[in-house]
Amino acid sequence: MRHPNPLCIALSAVSLFVFSACSKSSLTEPQESAQSALSSAKQVTAASTTPVGTVIYTSNGYKLTFTNNAGGFDDATRQKFVDMYFSIYPTLLNRFYTGATKQVTFVIDPNYNGVAYTSGTTVTYSAAWMANHPQDVDVLTHEVMHVVQAYTGGTPGWLTEGIADYVRYKYGVNNGPAGWSLPAWSSSQSYTDAYRVTARFLVWLERHVRATIVDDLNTALRNKTYSGNTWNQLTGKSVDQLWTDYSNNPAL
Ligand SMILES: [Zn+2]
């Protein structure tokens, strides 16, 4: 998934800072090699950290404004986030909404105690969560889908979140090491449980009922044509009937 290198092209207004930040990332490995060759046994291999501040990356018409407000944020995570943005976000935009913005902002927040959240075109990540769960980088995959969704109100949250976790399942790059997977069906579940439960239902529908179901639901949600009847229009059955079918034979 790693891009060959600097995805970042300095914008003139901030050229020095951007250029130095991008150069730094490209030199990370040689620097570390040189350090370890010179280091004594006593030296601990400290992970490099991302400077506090804003860096702007651009590539192929896409822009990422990365604002790190957390001292000590792991620079490997920053690099992963940048690489993932430029590989996954365009994929989602091309599949789900070609009119979505190509200018996204990431904020690393040292004071946010959740995991991550998206507001408009800005995704905020908990610095503490990423420090404690460094494998969980597909939080990004879920959140940037919210940017692509760009639904404007009146949409059921369970379905919005279910689609975002469907996307994490389909396009995630590190779900296994992160310990993230879709939960097996159980009788205590409902399709309105959102997140992974709804995501697995969508995967099942895609494989057994209608291959374009997620695309179609996404379009209806954005166009504000979604209603309970949308399921009938797309599949000939109500969502409750579909859930019953799923419950009777939930294998993917
Ligand atoms: Zn979400």
* Beta-carbon neighbours within 5 Å of ion ligand 1: 161, 164
**Phi, psi torsion values for 111, nearest 5 degrees:** -110, 0
Cβ-based neighbours of 46, under 8 Å, separated by 6 or more: none
Q: Does domain 12-26+47-149 have CATH number 3.40.50.1000?
A: no
User: pLDDT digits over 157-203, tens only?
Assistant: 999 999 999 999 999 999 999 999 999 999 999 999 999 999 999 99
Would you call 34 exposed, middle or buried from its count of C-beta atoms within 10 A (0-12, 13-18, 19+)? exposed
| 32 Cα: distance to centroid of ligand 1 (angstroms) | 36
User: pLDDT digits over 81-137, tens only?
Assistant: 999 999 999 999 999 999 999 999 999 999 999 999 999 999 999 999 999 999 999
| 162 Cα: distance to centroid of ligand 1 (angstroms) | 8
User: pLDDT digits over 82-97, tens only?
Assistant: 999 999 999 999 999 9
Domain boundaries, the chain: 12-26+47-149, 157-248
**Joined tokens for residue 30:** 């040689």
| 147 Cα: distance to centroid of ligand 1 (angstroms) | 10
Q: What is the pLDDT of residue 8?
A: 36
Residue that wins the pLDDT comparison between 36 and 69: 69
- Residues paired with residue 125 on neighbouring β-strands, in sequence order: 108, 116
Residue type (1 letter), 83: D
At residue 67's C-alpha, the angle toward residues 64 and 73, to 5°, is 115
